Amino acid sequence: MFEGFRQRRISAGGVEINLVEGGEGPPLLLLHGHPQTHVIWHKVAGTLAGHFTVVATDLRGYGDSAKPPGLPDHSNYSKRAMAQDQVEVMAALGHPRFRILAHDRGARVAHRLAVDHPDRVVKLATLDIAPTLAMYEHTNLAFAKSYFHWFFLIQPHPFPETLIGADPELYLRRVMGGRSAGLAPFTDEAFAEYLRCIRDPGTVHGLCEDYRASAGIDLDHDREDLAQGRKVACPLLALWGARGIVGRVVDPLEEWRRVALDVRGKALDCGHYLPEEAPGEVLAEVLPFLS
């Protein structure tokens, strides 16, 4: 799926981060979402590699990256810790400054990275999220039904881990196939990779810890930013799926403008999984922005 790319593992933040790297030009970091891996970028990575040096990682707890046991306060799965992983990976590759294109959970990591490390991020493009604090504060029935996993995965260990572990394929098909496009956006090869990874109990624990952190320590960090006036300083492009739920819960541009200084964006005619569901439309928007 990533012809011409090379796979690497780099030690960062005390864990090993798996990645693929390819292309030439300014460095571009790609960050995936739940319950997926760097494979989400397989439909756009080749084109992006014609313009950028592309680095697509598996987040801590996902894919083939390390999956440490969660700490009692979930701080080692905070977006701050996960962002630090990515800063160290890019530095190890010789990229002290870089652009970011990120989807779903990866975009939450990217948001934190841009706030905590403003000198590192040239531009940031987010796909189908609004800021975490805004999503929790505007929770309604439509959001809770579509994003049930936000509230399931934060339950104490080992409850969600045990239930998902009993039938990880069922969980994968329900979460990914329960959106507007069903399972149609996912190639057999990509789906097989997601399934391989989620069959690892470490992955299940890692993704639960990711969400537990988001409902606790990450919100503390977000509130601290608001209180101290810290915002994303780099240009930010927010794209979301018109058939998804984010735009029905909040006004994404309004919420991003509360936490970022330079925001633009729009809805695309698709659902949640933009890089696999509407790769051409994503490229048409992000290439001019990132360049």
| CA distance from start to end of the chain | 24
Q: Residues 104, 128, 210, 218: which is the catalytic one?
A: 104
Q: Residues 38, 95, 111, 272: which is the catalytic one?
A: 272
Active site residue 138: no
Query: What residue type is assigned to position 103 of the chain?
Result: H
Active site residue 200: no
Catalytic residues: 104, 272
